[in-house]
Amino acid sequence: FNHASVDSFPGISAIYYSEAEGYSDRLHLKSGNSNVNVAAGNYQRWGDYTGSQKKYNEPGMVWINGFIGSFSALHPSPNQHKTFVAKLISPDLSATSIKDEVN
> If DSSP codes are grouped into helix, strand and coil, which group holds residue 41?
coil
- pLDDT tens per residue across span 75-93: 878 888 888 999 999 887 6
Residues of the chain with pLDDT below 70 are: 47, 93-103
Model pTM score = 0.76
Contact call for residues 65 and 51 (beta carbons, < 8 A): yes
Q: Going by C-beta distance under 8 Å and a sequence separation of 6 or more, which residues neighbour residue 13? A: 1, 2, 3, 26, 27, 28, 29
